[in-house]
A and B are shown apart, each in its own frame.
Chain A
């Protein structure tokens, strides 16, 4: 007799352990369930869908979105989702395995319930040559950090509106109205941010990673040298020596970096050359007071304009 009794008991214990935490959860009746890979996408969906959507996100904002390990709870959320909003391109290498683990094929890349936020965005750093990993952790289709330019948020809002209207035509007018109001607010803020950053135009900065491209494009900054030796490759003493000379020669005032990279190399360089280390957010909610698209950009542009005054 196989020990089926003990097997049953163990299975039961496993379920009981889980049941200890049992509380009702989930979307309200009639709401579309949306899973966004990043907090910024989740915030834009909320702005347009408001009470018609229940939004969850995968990547915790305080971590680098490239290196997220989706959890079983993410798999569960995606398997129940009506819409999956993601960066497209090749930033979120974990996105396809997550979708496959959830097993809902209409959310897969290119399918009807998958929103690729990069659609229509003017991509920077699109490779013009055969790529090799010898160049570091580079991206095949262009720089994927397009969320750093608020003008791209207008394009992203359009992508979300289009999909929401398609899968929920009954509320199309509602979504359109919300999107219009959101974009109008955003355009006013874009003018304000441009004015704030106007004195920074033409100045050069050092960035930790190549994730500054779209931010620099909006502000008018020049960013040609990075703390990383190559994308994804941490700095070496030799590289920092080179940067020290470079910063002095080009009279650079600021070193820009996200919160989640180690700050010691930037601090060391800044101390040697008398530059400031400017921390900017890459994700909505990464720091206190950056919990929506507007406060996220407010924070970032204030940081850079204060540093380059």
Chain B
């Protein structure tokens, strides 16, 4: 069946099976492979994207459910000239990534966390990112990065 949605501002329409998951629509049908798959039980959060501004694990959403939605993936975060988003920059500056596999999902989950929760502190960040697993960083620097970006983005807002 035909499913259309806007991903990173671009309109896509693809013919897919009803069982197609959003993450596979994004990765395989559209070809945006920045969003990763880390598990098969919706536990790891590597596939987190924004759907109409809210973070979702794109492996728990059927592509048909995203019909007409606006999706933002990790590829849609930086400026068109490649300038990193303040959150991406904070991840680099705080060394909040190592292998980088969980990173796209972690960044997208953090982005919605920051936007939806003014006045973040360490505890709130840790609890807010509970659904996103990282095996490399021990989370220490991820938490630092999110707090740094929250500060910076707050100032900007």
**Do chains A and B interact in one complex?**
no
B interface residues, Cβ below 8 angstroms from A: none
